[in-house]
Amino acid sequence: MLTIQDIIGVFILGAIISYSFTPLVRHIAFKIKLLDHPNINKSHAHPIPLLGGLSIYMAFFLPIIFVYRFDAALVSILIGGTVLLLLGIIDDKLGMMPSMKLTGQLLAALIVYKMGIRVITCEDYYLSMFFTCFWIIGITNAFNLLDNLNGLSSGIGGIASLFFGILAICTGQRYVAMLAFSLAGACFGFLKHNFPKAKIFMGDSGSMFLGFTLSCIAILGSWETDKISISLALPIIVLGYPIFDTALVTFLRIREGRSIFQGGRDHSSHMLASLGFKKTRAVLLIYLICACLGLSAVFVLCLPIKYGAPLAIVAILSMIIFGLYLTAVRSRSAKLKRTKNND
């Protein structure tokens, strides 16, 4: 039987392993020349190692081994996570077509589905498979896209993991809490090396592994409330910012006639920078938004339904309004730029 001490222990151990192991990973990345080189679209002046995902990967699994055992759920996350870690390393080193990355993400999602991690609100086997794969691939890509400023993806991942752990403790799911707190510790330990100015990036290997693992934790949790709609809303609220940023970028790129897989400075973090926020302050503001969303999810779970339901709606609507505001700001900036060029 897992205790609260075990859960706190995996968090602390995960943070220590991640913090201590990252300098070694950084050294290995330099040795194998797995580096992000500066160019016109990047602000760093020197090559930065890209193997940080390995630190998070090790720091997530190793603490759990000390206090628990490998079961079907953990083995499925290990297999699927390893697939995405290796896929990301190959992508960071050699580059990869988006279709190949999606194929690998689908494979990882199908592995965990076949081994029991699945959306259970759908009784139909194939419908459940569709929603499970859609959720896992969506969140995996959300964190992959979100990794555009130093410390952003790892910090948001740590905050989301922490609140999933709190929700799991509140609902008596100590196994889920253990997974969430271990991942939170891994993210926060890595954040010391990844926060501006970063000494190492997590790369595609880290961002995809982080998104994949968080999506699996969200599915594993049984977020039961008086209404199933509220139960389904809880993980969406906790992961509200990655979902919001991905939806915003997808909308803007489709509206502007660009491929959704084409990179660009159209993320919410870039828009905040264009409003005058320094990059570090923009990252901290996004952390605050994520923490507020996490707290909202806790209140939704703990408060009576007549208070929890309106709070869930307010949390979701707030993100939509924020997105509309940033879209308006971007449109205005683009219009002013066109007017200036015409003059």
Instruction: Report the C-alpha gap between 197 and 287 in whole angstroms.
Output: 17
Mean pLDDT of residues grouped by 10 in the chain (343 residues)?
A: 92 97 95 83 75 96 90 93 96 90 96 92 88 96 88 95 95 94 97 90 95 96 70 89 90 82 75 79 89 90 78 81 76 65 56
63 plus 119 within the same structural domain: yes
42-66 pLDDT tens trace: 666 688 999 999 999 999 999 999 8
Chosen domain end from 188, 206, 222? 222
Look up the domain containing 277 and give its range: 224-343
Number of domains in the chain: 2
User: Are 148 and 286 part of one and the same domain?
Assistant: no
Alpha carbons 211 and 81: distance in angstroms, whole number: 10
158 and 24 share a domain?
yes
- The kind and range of the H/E element at 55 are helix 52-67
**The predicted structure's pLDDT at residue 149:** 85
Share of the chain above pLDDT 70, in %: 92
d(CA 6, CA 178): 8
Are 175 and 304 in the same domain?
Answer: no
Q: Do both 11 and 117 map to the same domain?
A: yes
Together in a domain, 206 and 250: no
Residues 199 and 296 in one domain: no
- Asked if residue 210 and residue 328 are part of one domain, the reply reads no
How far is residue 206's CA from residue 59's CA, in Å, rounded to a whole number? 12
Give the pLDDT of residue 34: 93
> Domain check: are 10 and 150 in the same one?
yes
Please provide the DSSP assignment of 227-246 as one string. Answer: SHHHHHHHHHHHTHHHHHHH
Domain boundary among 206, 222, 238: 222
Q: Residue 36's beta-bridge partner residues?
A: 48
109/229 same-domain check: no
The domain boundary, picked from 203, 222, 241, lies at: 222
Q: What is the pLDDT of residues 189-217, one digit of tens each?
A: 999 999 888 899 999 999 999 999 999 99
Q: How far apart are the first and last CA of the chain?
A: 71
pTM of the model: 0.91
Q: Are residues 234 and 302 in the same domain?
A: yes
